[in-house]
Amino acid sequence: MTTYYNIVYNGNLALEKGKQQVEDAYKEDYWAVLPIERMAIKETPSRRTGRNSEASQNTPFQEAEEKATKAIQKHSMFIKGKEYNPQIDETFLLLGKARYFDQRFIPAKDAFSFILNHYPESSTINEAVIWQEKTNLRLENFDRAIKNLDSLLKTSGLSALEQHEASATLAQAYIFEDEKRFAIPPLRLAIATAPDEEKKARLLFIKGQLYALLGEKDSARVSFDEVIALNRKSPRRYRIHSKLEQLRLKDLEKTSWNETELAFQDMAENRENRPFLDFIYYDNAVFRLAKDSVRLAVEKFNASLREEPSDTYLKSRNYFNLGEIYFDKASYETAGKYYDSTLTNLPENTLEHIQIKRKKDNLEEVINYERIAKETDSILNLVNASDEKRIQVFSAYIEKLKEEEKSVFARESASKLADSRFGAQRSQIGAQGNNPSDFYFYDRIEAQKGEVVFRRIWGDIQLTDDWRRDPVRSSGLNIESEEAVVVEEELKPEYNPQTYIAKIPTDEAIIDSISDERNFANYQLGILYKEKFRRNDLAILKLEALLENDPEERLVLPSTYYLYKIYEETGDVKRAMQWKTEILNKHPESSYASILRNPEAYRTAADNPQNIYNKLFRDYQAEHYEGVLNEIETYTKVFLGNSILPKLELLKARVLAKLEGLEAYMEALNYVALTYPQSKEGKYAQEQYKQLKDSSFSSEFDMDPAPDSEYMLVFKFDTKATPESKIHGIKEDLLAALQKEPGLNLSLNENNYTPNQTLITLKGLRSKAAAEELAEKFIKNAIIDKNFTYFVITQQNYKIAQRHKNLDDYLENYR
């Protein structure tokens, strides 16, 4: 009696209170199939260890668990294998549920298993089975849960509530396993045995979602109709989302405009639907977008955002759609801002986040080059404009400045209020709501500035009626205030058109550099629009504008070739032939002309960019660094605009590392990273540059090496004084000599140190003395000339010398 009416009773009250808190805190995700049970699962150590260190010690679930533990400890009468208190099985059920909702699933399962193992005749045995399988679902044991629940539902004697719980849990198991079709039969049974209309509405909504995903639109509509038919018997959220789901099931492009718009309008105008306006406006915007009513769609996307949705994914979809709209309009700077807002509302490391970030990163280049093109174009327009036109342009700009200065109340003073001693004592007269006023005179600094300007213009004026039109100074003289304002304005250089006209460049070299900058920006934009954004119309616009503005010779041929390719892709044969003819007639010896004459042969030809790169890379591996560097310099001009350029530049960085050392390598990496930031090579270069910058590579040699250090005998040759053939002969002689020294086990290599210096190294020596003795032996046997420069160095010091190209410092110490 004490167990039932006191401890377990209070424990169940605490459990119900906690369950209500969990359900109230749960945020529905209407972008996916709703879960049967409203409980947010958190990945915490409690799932593995059974301890919930993050939880407060006073949660309702812990209170329920304490009650259950107290009842078991004080009131259990387990004697000789038999329990004489019939309430203890109920207590273990309470214990398991408390742990389950506290998300300590392994201890919860132990509690349910205890009932199954020790109380097989308990009246709660079926409920214990159901809760054990609910726990198995949370532990991702889906197959076991499906098997056990299926067996339970086939037994007789289940109450309606037990049938509901078992079938709902089975449906959830199938949903977790992504077996939507199998989830529907148990879902129907759960709906038929639902204990209240709220659960029934939720299950009907889930059934409608499953049918929609299976493509069975009619069955989905019937389920959503059943939710709507429950009217006020179920929560409003299910009815509103059911209506929205029904509208989504229609083919929006073929739907009647008036009928659908009226449906959205009715929902939006219903006062009870205000909490759902964010979703209503969003779906309305999507419908309008499907009907190509872009301007009206933008209105609704913005209206949805003004509702400040709590659903972050809904926010992200609003921002993304607005970004796509401005992207299609080629307003890339605006689109980029919307993509930024999209990313802040999406979880990182998701595929969607990665794809949108990649698109946003691609836009950075376009935005940058568009800004350059716009600025340089406006400067060149002013350079070519007449004096009258220049004055007209700057006069309009000055008028705009004057209007902005007159609007003193539009100034943003809020950020400066921290400096005002009266910031916390603002008057609320005339203010709306709780927002503080931005009134000009509440900012002490701005008010003082205004007073200085006022006195400078008006002087020591008396406070009299009609002071502006008829001002009276302390001397009693009246003045014309407008004349004072005009005089004041004439003194300001920013109000004089000549101030700006004087800044227009006149030097031909500067004008040419601005023109080159504009042309290069247009070229890059043409390539970006074609290759990355598939906007052939914008690519044509930029490339043709480039060719009309007397570009550098290096830009003419690739621009002409890209125009040919674009017109060929779009099916404009006539324009394509015009550009093709121009290439063949004006540049017959170019690689582009070779491509046009025989495109199939070019794919395997030696002058294919990829084949050239492969050849250069093989030469690099063969340590022909100087030749590779010279060829790269040539091909970067030949293949301007080609996708092979980042590879060539990265290869150039590696060559410079070998020839000039670490600093040259880092500088070249930085160039690749900044010039080709979106390419694979650019990203690799950026990563390498950051790693090298963060690393500390000492250029100091260790002249007192450890006893176990490995040494190298190095012969240094000046390639200008010693022909390559002779160096090769010496190398062969050394190889032959080493074969006569089998016990040494040395490796011989030839390394470039600088473009004019080659090093032949013998690696694997155990001491400095042994290395010097071997060198003397080679000299004595006339294998090498005694006048050749040689030295002994540890492998660690050799790496430092190659990295920093400071071998001369080592040789000074060595001598």
Least confident of 26-40, 134-148, 210-224, 415-429: 415-429
Q: What is the CATH number of the domain that holds 805?
A: 3.30.70
The confidence band for 167, taking pLDDT boundaries of 50, 70 and 90, is: very high
> Does residue 10 sit in the same domain as residue 128?
yes
The confidence band for 815, taking pLDDT boundaries of 50, 70 and 90, is: low
> Does residue 682 sit in the same domain as residue 786?
no
> Does residue 720 sit in the same domain as residue 809?
yes
Q: What is the CATH number of the domain that holds 291?
A: 1.25.40
* Arithmetic mean of pLDDT, 124-145: 92
Q: Which domain holds residue 758?
A: 711-814
Last residue of a domain, one of 139, 157, 180: 139
| Averaged pLDDT score across all residues of the chain | 81
pLDDT at 637: 59
Share of the chain above pLDDT 90, in %: 29
pLDDT at 144 over 80: yes
Task: Give a yes or no: residue 741 inside a domain.
Answer: yes
b or e along 670-705 (b: 16 or more beta carbons within 10 Å of the residue's beta carbon)? Answer: bbbbeebbebebbbebbebbeeeeeeeeeeebeeeb
- C-alpha 132/C-alpha 19 separation (Å) is 18
Q: How far apart are the first and last CA of the chain?
A: 100
Instruction: Please count the structural domains in the chain.
Output: 5
Last residue of a domain, one of 602, 637, 657: 602
pLDDT in tens, 444-500: 556 666 776 777 677 777 777 776 666 665 554 444 445 545 545 555 777 788 888
Q: How many CB atoms lie within 10 A of CB 346?
A: 20
> Does residue 616 sit in the same domain as residue 595?
no
> Does residue 1 sit in the same domain as residue 120?
yes
pLDDT at 218: 92
DSSP labels, 479-531? --HHHHHHHHHHH-GGG-HHHHHTTS---HHHHHHHHHHHHHHHHHHHHHHHH
Task: Give a yes or no: residue 132 inside a domain.
Answer: yes
Task: Give a yes or no: residue 245 inside a domain.
Answer: no
pLDDT in tens, 756-800: 777 888 787 778 888 788 888 777 777 777 777 778 888 888 888
- C-alpha 672/C-alpha 690 separation (Å) is 13
Could you tell me the CA-to-CA distances from 704 to 368, 701, 710, 809 in Å, in that order? Answer: 53, 9, 13, 15
Residue 800, both tokens: 């430092």
Q: Where are the alpha helices (DSSP H) in 345-465?
A: 351-384, 387-406, 444-458
> Does residue 524 sit in the same domain as residue 552?
yes
pLDDT at 57: 52
- C-alpha 162/C-alpha 168 separation (Å) is 10
Contact 26, 40 (CB under 8 A): yes
pLDDT at 420: 38
pLDDT at 407: 54
Closest CA to 790 of 771, 765, 763: 771
> Does residue 129 sit in the same domain as residue 17?
yes
Residue 397, both tokens: 């700009």
Could you tell me the CA-to-CA distances from 330 to 231, 336, 641, 788 in Å, in that order? Answer: 46, 11, 22, 67
Task: Give a yes or no: residue 241 inside a domain.
Answer: no
pLDDT at 434 over 60: no
> Does residue 616 sit in the same domain as residue 688?
yes
The confidence band for 814, taking pLDDT boundaries of 50, 70 and 90, is: low
Last residue of a domain, one of 694, 729, 748: 694
pLDDT at 284 over 50: yes
DSSP labels, 47-97? HHHS--TTS-TT-HHHHHHHHHHHHHHHH--EETTEE--TTHHHHHHHHHH
> Does residue 802 sit in the same domain as residue 779?
yes
Closest CA to 568 of 558, 580, 559: 580
pLDDT at 428 over 50: no
State the Cα angle at 535 between 329 and 317, rounded to 5°: 50
**Number of alpha carbons in the 13 Å side-chain half-sphere of residue 143:** 0
105 versus 661: the higher-pLDDT residue is: 105
Task: Give a yes or no: residue 441 inside a domain.
Answer: no
pLDDT at 84: 72
pLDDT at 468: 67
pLDDT in tens, 377-408: 999 988 888 988 988 888 888 888 877 766 54
pLDDT at 148: 92
> Does residue 578 sit in the same domain as residue 533?
yes
pLDDT at 42 over 60: yes
> Does residue 591 sit in the same domain as residue 621?
no
Task: Give a yes or no: residue 319 inside a domain.
Answer: yes
State the Cα angle at 17 between 12 and 19, rounded to 5°: 90
b or e along 712-746 (b: 16 or more beta carbons within 10 Å of the residue's beta carbon)? Answer: bbbbbbebeeeeeeebeebbeebeebbeeeeeeeb
> Does residue 32 sit in the same domain as residue 100?
yes
Task: Give a yes or no: residue 490 inside a domain.
Answer: no
pLDDT in tens, 76-119: 777 776 777 777 888 889 899 999 999 999 999 999 998 888 88
- C-alpha 429/C-alpha 431 separation (Å) is 5
pLDDT in tens, 670-726: 878 766 766 788 888 888 887 877 776 777 777 777 777 888 888 887 777 777 777
Q: What is the CATH number of the domain that holds 685?
A: 1.25.40.10
pLDDT in tens, 49-63: 455 544 445 688 888
Residue 408, both tokens: 């003193």
Q: How do strand 82-83 and strand 711-718 relate by DSSP bridges?
A: unpaired
pLDDT at 474: 55
pLDDT at 216: 93
Task: Give a yes or no: residue 428 inside a domain.
Answer: no
The confidence band for 45, taking pLDDT boundaries of 50, 70 and 90, is: very low
Residue 263, both tokens: 């449906």
